[in-house]
Amino acid sequence: MSEVVDVSKVAELDWDLPRPFVIELDVGDEAIDHYGHANNAEYLRWVEQASWEHSAHLGLTLADYRELDRAMAVHRHELDYLAPCFVGERLAMATWVIECDGRLTLTRRFQLQRIADGVTLLRARTRYACIALSSGRPRRLPDAFVKGYGDAVVTTDD
């Protein structure tokens, strides 16, 4: 479960980019693997969760995707696992749209930090391609996606 957080609550955390969209996450028992820390697949689930919550915040919900017969399908995930997290810890996941080509693709970056000490646990990047939900085939970004995601782009040096 997550809670959308006012950026001022996590402003003291050292984010990689300006204007992060941030959610807070609690590490529950279900996230823990046989090594005693959160499983790597859980980090990916949190990436997906932050993406959906940010999209909804931008006015692009699953209902909108269905109405437009479009979706942003993952083309590539890159996850750098930097440190473990453990049950009971409170985390902050930030995401940014760093590229929207206005035609077919968009790219997000992510940063996961432990709130107690500000340690960055994960940095990730995901590239998406727009598809038609009805066929799964690549399709041009609809105007609503170009506007919503395009207006959210944060410029980076990479």
pLDDT band at 156 (very low <50, low <70, confident <90, very high): confident
What pLDDT is attached to residue 2? 53
* CA gyration radius, the chain: 16
**DSSP E strand stretches across the chain:** 2-4, 21-26, 71-81, 90-100, 105-114, 120-131
- Pair 98, 110: CB distance under 8 Å: no
What's the pTM? 0.92
Q: What is the mean pLDDT of residues 118-143?
A: 98
Can you tell me whether residue 73 is helix, strand or coil?
A: strand
Segment 4-31, tens digit of pLDDT: 544 445 778 999 999 999 999 999 999 9
What pLDDT is attached to residue 12? 83
- Residue 22 CA to residue 5 CA, distance in Å, equals 6
Sorted by where each starts, the structural domains of the chain and their CATH numbers stand as 2-151 (3.10.129.10)
**H or E segment at 145?**
helix 143-151
Task: Indicate if the pLDDT at residue 81 is higher than 70.
Answer: yes
State what percent of residues in the chain have pLDDT above 90: 90
